[in-house]
Structures are given as structure tokens and as C-alpha cells.
Amino acid sequence: MTTMSGKVCLVTGGTSGIGRETAARLAELGATVVVVGRDAERGRSAVNEIRHRAPGAEVDLLTADMSSLAEVRRLAAEVLEKYDRLDVLDNNAGVIMLKQQFTVDGYETVFAVNHLAPFLLTSLLRERLVSSAPARVITVSSNVHRSAKQIPWDELARGEPSYPLSKLANILFTVELAKRLTGTVVANCLHPGLIRTQLGREARGVAKLLVAAAKPFMGTVHTGAATPVYLASAPEAAEVTGGYFLRGKQIEPSSLARDPEAAARLWTLSEELVA
């Protein structure tokens, strides 16, 4: 495995599931890992586990509620104050909700957490990433993006919750980010596979039964973390930008996810929403 000694890696949603496993494996490779989570107690548990798995590793914990744009800004300010370099930003945090809920900023929660939070965090840390180049931005998407056949632009931020749309937004964000960072920072996204995590714990009724029925066929967090770790550490992954990956291999997302006009429009809308 490629050593990550001297590298600083920030993992959002790093206190559980794929994010926690990704953070642990990057620490095992020698990286300084900054774990971001909403709950301090769960965060301390994650940090202790990572330190146990990687004795001597430098592991830090920062807390932030990614549904709040103010919290995302505070998080970015803390990172910039504490670290003079940032080699890897892993936008891993995400939620699934079946009922419409709104954030303190007035945006639909799934869209806010899954897209607006990583968009804003990446934007605020962009200069630090560029100054640390070659650096990498990794965003966890999903193959469920393929079920989003069109984008309801007027209702995107305040409409009904749509996990597939939020995952489509992750890919469009990556496409446009890669274009804007050409020659400095590589930006890629991925589908981790169908993995047993706490994502979907909000499910109720029939949806909850479907999740339970699918669990025996799901992969482990170890499997799910393989591609994020690959994109963060593999030398050859530094030669690709704007890509969508599954099991360490670049694949094509949906045709809508490859639409450069949609990517540019989403970027402009996102800038307006986080302003």
C-alpha cells in the first residue's frame, strides 16, 4: 500500500460506517486524519478505535452539524486554523430521509446535507487544497443517481426529499469542480456499493422491511471504504479527475450526470444558495 505519511486527510461523516473505516485505513497508511462528526461522544469512540488500530497515528476530532451552513463555515475555519495543508478532502457525510424536513437555513435536509454541505466545505477549503497540491477531493455518491431522470431546478432545494437527486448532484458537482481545478487538485466521486451502514435508519414501515431484507446481501464497511481509500492514496488515482468510480475502477455514470450544462447550472445555483 502507498504510504500517506505527511499527508493530512479530512473525512466528514467519519464517526461511523464507511467514513469511520476510511479514516482508520488512512491512519494505518500513516496519514494525519481529521475525523468530522456531529456527535462528540461517538466521535471520541471513533478516534479511540482508529488510534487502537493505528498506534502512533495522529487523529483529530472536529464536530459539526452538516445540515447547518453556519456549522460548515465554522468547521472550515477550524481546519484552516489548525492545519497549514490539506491533501485529501473526503466528502463522505450523508443522510437519507423519507419525510420532508428543513434545515435551519430553510433547505430540504437531504439536499442540504448531501450536496450543499460538501459544496460549501470544498469551496471554503479550496485555496488550502490548491496550495497543498497535488491534493484530492473525493465525494461519496451512489448508483441510485441513475433513477433521477430530470432535475426539478425550481424545487431542488425546498422540494420533496430525494436521495437519488442528491447523489446525482454529487457527481455533477465533481464534474464541474474537476473542470475548475484542472492542473492543481483532482476531484473524483464514487459508488461505494450496497453497504451495511446506519444510513437508512430513518426508514419506517415497508421501507424499513425492505432495508432489513436487503441487509444479508449487502457488503461490509471494509468493502465500502476500499474505493475512497484507493482514490485518496493510489498514485494512479492522481492521474484521473472528474471520474466516477466503483470498486476502484472508473465507470460511466448516467447521461444526465455527464451533462456539462447541468453541472454548470447546479454550481451557479449552489453558490446562490450558500451565499
Contact criterion met (CB below 8 Å) for 50 and 33: yes
Order of strands, sheet of 88-91, starting from the edge strand that comes earlier in the sequence: 59-63, 32-37, 8-12, 88-91, 135-140, 185-191, 244-246, 249-251
Candidates 83, 107, 163, 244; catalytic one: 163
Which amino acid makes up residue 213?
A
Residue 132 and residue 86 in contact, taking contact as beta carbons nearer than 8 Å: yes
Burial class (CB in 10 A: 0-12, 13-18, 19+), 252: exposed
> Catalytic: 163?
yes
| Residues taking part in catalysis | 163
